[in-house]
Amino acid sequence: GENVEQHPSTLSVQEGDSAVIKCTYSDSASNYFPWYKQELGKRPQLIIDIRSNVGEKKDQRIAVTLNKTAKHFSLHITETQPEDSAVYFCAASPRNNYGQNFVFGPGTRLSVLP
């Protein structure tokens, strides 16, 4: 089955700096790669996603890149703000004849220091 690795496990940056989180996946059948943000005590919520036919996607301060050949994808946050502090999860979504599954990485705890 699909296996997703994520690095780093913790990341501290100064406010205004950029943050990069990297993930790798194992199943070449995966073709959808969402990123979720989970604030303390809250549910994970989708912040950006990318599909396998696209190499890069950007939404304001957040961007995601995908390299299908190398089976890795990354989240980039620019001009970080204290409210970006949270745990971020990447996921890979393999499809089979029955539908779509979501396998999550272990998460990255991002701290943005004022």
Partner 1 sequence: DAGVIQSPRHEVTEMGQEVTLRCKPISGHNSLFWYRQTMMRGLELLIYFNNNVPIDDSGMPEDRFSAKMPNASFSTLKIQPSEPRDSAVYFCASSPLAGVDGELFFGEGSRLTVL
Site for partner 1, rule CB under 8 A:
1, 31-32, 34, 36, 42-46, 49, 51, 89, 91, 93, 95, 98-107
- For partner 1, the closer of residues 5 and 79 by Cβ is 5
For 13-78, what is the HEC assignment? EECCCCEEEEEEECCCCEEEEEEEEECCCCCCEEEEEEECCCCEEEECCEEEEEECCCCEEEEEEC
- Contact call for residues 65 and 51 (beta carbons, < 8 A): no
Name the minimum Å distance from CB 23 to partner 1. Answer: 13
- For partner 1, the closer of residues 25 and 89 by Cβ is 89
- For partner 1, the closer of residues 98 and 114 by Cβ is 98
- Kindly tell me the sign of the dihedral angle through the C-alpha atoms of 105, 102, 92, 17: negative
Name the minimum Å distance from CB 81 to partner 1. Answer: 23
Give, for 94, the enclosing helix (H) or strand (E).
Answer: strand 86-96
- For partner 1, the closer of residues 2 and 78 by Cβ is 2
